[in-house]
Amino acid sequence: MSIAKTYNPKEAEDKWYSYWMENGFFRSTPDEREPYTIVMPPPNVTGVLHMGHMLNNTIQDVLIRRARMQGKNACWVPGTDHASIATEAKVVNMLKEQGIDKKSLTREDFLKYAWEWKEKYGGIILKQLEKLGASCDWERTKFTMDPDLSEAVIDTFIRFYKEGYIYRGVRMVNWDPLGKTALSDEEVIRKEVNQKLYYIRYKIKDSDEYIIIATTRPETIMADAAVCINPNDERFTHLKGKTVIVPLVNREIPIIQDEYVDMEFGTGCLKVTPAHDLNDYELGQKHNLEIIDLLNDDGTLNENAQILVGEDRFIARKKIAKLLEEVDQIEKIEDYKSQVGFSERTDAAIEPKLSMQWWCKMEELSKPALQYVEDGTIKLIPEKFFASYKHWMENVKDWCISRQLWWGQRIPAWYNEKNEWVVAKTEEDARKEFEALGKTVSTIRQEDDVLDTWFSSGLWPMSVFDGVRNPENEDFKYYYPTNDLVTAPEILFFWIARMIIMGHDYTQLPPFKNVYLTGIVRDKLGRKMSKSLGNSPDPIELMEQYGTDGVRVGMLLSSPAGNDLMFDVSYCEQGRNFANKIWNAFRLVKGWETTDAPATEAQKTAAVWFENRFNQAVAEIDEHFANYRLSDALMATYKLIWDDFCAWYLELIKPAYQMPIEAEALETVKALFQKVLALAHPFMPFLTEELYHDEIFGERTAKDCIIVTEYPKVIPFDEQITKEFATVQQIISEVRNVRNSKGMSPKTALPLAINASDIDFKKHQESIIKLANISELTFVQEKVTGALSFLAGKSECYVQLAAENIDVEAEKERITKEIEYLKGFLISVDKKLSNERFVQNAKPEIIDNERNKKADAETKITILQESLSNLGL
């Protein structure tokens, strides 16, 4: 036999992936079948895929493959996301490394580089997904900046604008001085940072007195508009109505009063800098203060600062502190920890900044989106995420949707020479708009504003089917709403909430029914896998090493929904071993010669049992899938194959060495083998397809592939068969144990007697028991003396050994121990039963159960005690 001893994944993977593609098995077009749709969360084109993507897409592939096999019209739409700021930051960096400054480029030139980047990395990503075995409909591959998707984005902007959800206004925004763009609240990551708290003396005008103010940001003092105290603060009553002098620039500012100020914190005095702090801004509005913006877009000081103009804000901070020290206006400096916002993408410290931006009103829009999840129209899996979803939805603020970038969909606003503006899809429309408003326009222009990436990905489930531009098209009507969305909990607000909001606004429907939230892939130490830590294995390398199927199994084995996954390569090893196990089971069957004979009694019994066990497992697996417990579904499959199929069924029907197998038994095992493979296919697509096509299973037509073969259906099974067989398994196990404990070789045949007075297994199972290398099997009506005994169910079994092999003392001890345990057990049962309150309160079936336990234990004790006394003979 020339078949390899271990499974070699490489060959099978390349072969079958292209075969599936060539035969269009991933393709989906609307037909009369029930659709099953998943849209892939589009990975960013910022780089290559990491383990989190791999897990995510493996889950999606398992779901889609299973649905496909179940006869549904399975459609998995792949794609990538342009990831506006993230990609632009990467491209800018890449250019910088080549010595090119973004500023030196025109918009068009820059976009050319960006598109090149997208082609390169988008391509790598799609290749990685192929390697993973992802069975998506590649002909539907979309990119969030494809012309049709971009048009959908622009249409939506205009729609929302007309509906009154989008407006333009000057607000405090999160400004990223590195990306030089505004950010939404969600794109700001707060981190605790060690800072200094500077206590600065402000001189009170016409007085020798100073007032001391604590701040972490001395570089902003030149923009101070007031000093604020709490009106209830008695320490400062005498200062009411006075003014103070801002140090260094000697500007006079008022002392105002507001209860906002916390008397306990710092010195109880607050400097108010409306241009550079959200709270100060609000205070400034309230008290009508001057707004002095002293920062440029890139975080350097502008001429409003008067001093240190052009200096970076962090350098300026130190220098200001020094200057203040020189004029003796620093009281003290303390170490201080506080939360500072950082840009999610560029990691620059965020600057609160007043800026004209586009905003999306969220309050109205978010209501139906909350409703869907609240009433179960959309199910979050696991449910625990509902609480934070609800909280976010109920407290959502307006969404800043404009970004000062080039890479993205341009905001369709047009400006005339007077800076008046209209919203319109094209320049032509814009001119008409202006005309209609009676405004002159000679030159018309757009600004460098693009839309937040999440504005476009929010449309994803609709736009991939062209449902925004053309809601009546066949694809959209057929595939939408989609079924399952598989993604990370981190983007619950970024993405999921916005898809629901936008989907509802367009269609009055939820965009999907179930949201499966996967965990974060962490390393063994519990750290999130990241490039910077270098603790993330390269997924491609892993697949090379363990096989794609092995890696898929490895990832799924340890990832219950919503829980983080402590990833370790040992899981992949387990996956590889499992693939190998199936491979070798196949080798065994393939190696059998046949003889034209009917199956033996034992083979028939084993087959009946396994088929029943199989059906039982299918039901369990189905249940697990219904609850999105994929790791449990996989484990059930794993155990069915490894324990039941290989360790029991195949061992039981196996002919003696180099003997042929009965043809009938072989046919049965082949049929069952194929069913088992079908069950495993969603998890291990390549191995199962490879084996499915082996000649031992007969000729296959070109389209007869496991990927589209029928997935095992849930059919009734007989629990009694499983139970009876369990007794047989126990007997075989015990006999092995006897050999093991006596140091005998498995080849030693032993005689076995079973006390059939209380037989709870069928006689036809005799044939199975004999397979445990039993020299003589007898059924007796009474005790057998001078033998090792054990209980299987309620039947006592005896293995007759030569006297020297029986250690009477050890046997006595063993049996005594068992009796003691049973007696203790009996006492606890008796205690319950003699407790009046128990008998009164417990449900009747519970009481019955206790009575049965009691009877059982008593019987066993009797049997064991007899054995004990027999030992003495």
Partner RNA sequence: GGAGAAUUAGCUCAGCUGGUUCAGAGCAUCUGCCUUACAAGCAGAGGGUCACUGGUUCGAAUCCAGUAUUCUCCACCA
Comparison of 302 and 737: residue with beta carbon closer to RNA: 737
CA angle 471, 472, 476 (to 5 degrees): 65
> Is 531 annotated for ligand binding?
yes
Q: Bridge-partner residues for 183, per DSSP?
A: 174
For CA atoms 487, 490, 495, 498, the dihedral sign is: positive
Q: What is the CA radius of gyration of the chain?
A: 37
- In this complex, which beta carbon is closest to RNA, that of residue 299 or of residue 489? 489
> Are the CB atoms for 688 and 680 separated by under 8 Å?
yes
**In terms of CB distance, is 102 or 587 closer to RNA?**
587
Neighbouring CB atoms inside 10 A of 199's CB total: 17
Q: Closer CB to RNA, residue 441 or residue 652? A: 652
Residue 774: strand, helix, or coil: strand
The structure tokens listed for 421 are 């503006």
Q: Which is nearer to RNA, 678 or 857 (CB)?
A: 857
Q: How far apart are CA 632 and CA 624, in angstroms?
A: 6
805 to each of 99, 242, 521, 536, 742, how far by Cα in Å?
86, 106, 55, 56, 7
**Nearest approach, Cβ of residue 161 and RNA (Å):** 25
Alpha carbon distance 814, 818 (integer Å): 6
Nearer to RNA, 45 or 650 (CB): 650
CB nearer to RNA: give 127 or 384.
Answer: 384
Give the nearer residue to RNA in terms of CB position, either 97 or 192: 192
Q: Smallest distance, Å, CB 265 to RNA?
A: 4
Q: What is the dihedral of CA 266, 269, 274, 278, to 10 degrees?
A: 40
* Encoded tokens for 158: 């205009």
Q: Tokens at residue 543, please?
A: 């697949």
Which of 251/271 has CB closer to RNA? 271
For 677, the token pair is 């493979």
Sequence-separated (6 or more) residues with CB below 8 Å from residue 56: 41, 486, 487, 488, 518
d(CA 249, CA 320): 11
Please, which residue, 475 or 850, has the CB nearer to RNA?
850
Say how far residue 348 (Cα) sits from the centre of its chain: 28
Which amino acid, 421? W
One-letter amino acid of 598: P
Residue 281 CB, nearest approach to RNA (Å): 10
- Nearest distance, CB of residue 684 and RNA, angstroms: 13
Q: Quick one: which of 516, 517, 530, 529 has its CA closest to 568?
A: 529
Strands 565-566 and 521-522, sheet pairing: parallel
Q: How far apart are CA 162 and CA 167, in angstroms?
A: 10
Give the other-Cβ count within 10 Å of 154's Cβ: 21
Exposed/middle/buried for residue 394 (C-beta within 10 Å: 0-12, 13-18, 19+): exposed
Q: How far apart are CA 815 and CA 791, in angstroms?
A: 11
d(CA 732, CA 456): 63
64 versus 857: smaller Cβ distance to RNA: 857
Q: How far is the CB of 137 from RNA (least distance, A)?
A: 32
Pick the closest to residue 133 from 202, 175, 76, 212 (CA basis): 76
CB of 681 vs RNA, minimal distance in Å: 19
Question: Residue 339 or 442: which CB sits closer to RNA?
Answer: 339
Q: How far is Cα of residue 229 from the mean position of the Cα atoms in its chain?
A: 49
For the chain, helix, strand, coil in percent to 5 are: 50, 20, 30
Asked if the peptide bond before residue 489 counts as cis, ω within 30 degrees of 0, the response is no
In the complex, least distance from residue 562 CB atom to RNA, rounded to whole angstroms: 8
> Smallest distance from the beta carbon of 190 to RNA, in angstroms?
5
Rounded least distance, CB 151 to RNA, Å: 31
Q: What is the dihedral of CA 474, 477, 479, 485, to 10 degrees?
A: 140
Residue 30 DSSP label: -
Q: Which helix (H) or strand (E) holds 413?
A: strand 413-415
Torsion of CA 363, 368, 374, 377, to 10 degrees: -160
Question: How far apart are alpha carbons 121 and 654 in whole angstroms?
Answer: 52
Nearer to RNA, 105 or 801 (CB): 801
Residue (117 or 546) nearer to RNA, CB: 546
CB of 597 to RNA, least distance (A): 19
Cβ at position 275, least distance to RNA in Å: 14
| Least distance CB 490 / RNA (angstroms) | 6
Supply the minimum distance, in Å, between the C-beta of residue 857 and RNA: 7
Nearest to 354 by CA among 398, 395, 429, 297: 297
What is the smallest separation between the CB atom of 169 and RNA, expressed in angstroms?
18
Residues at the annotated binding site for ATP?
Answer: 531
Residues at the annotated binding site?
Answer: 531
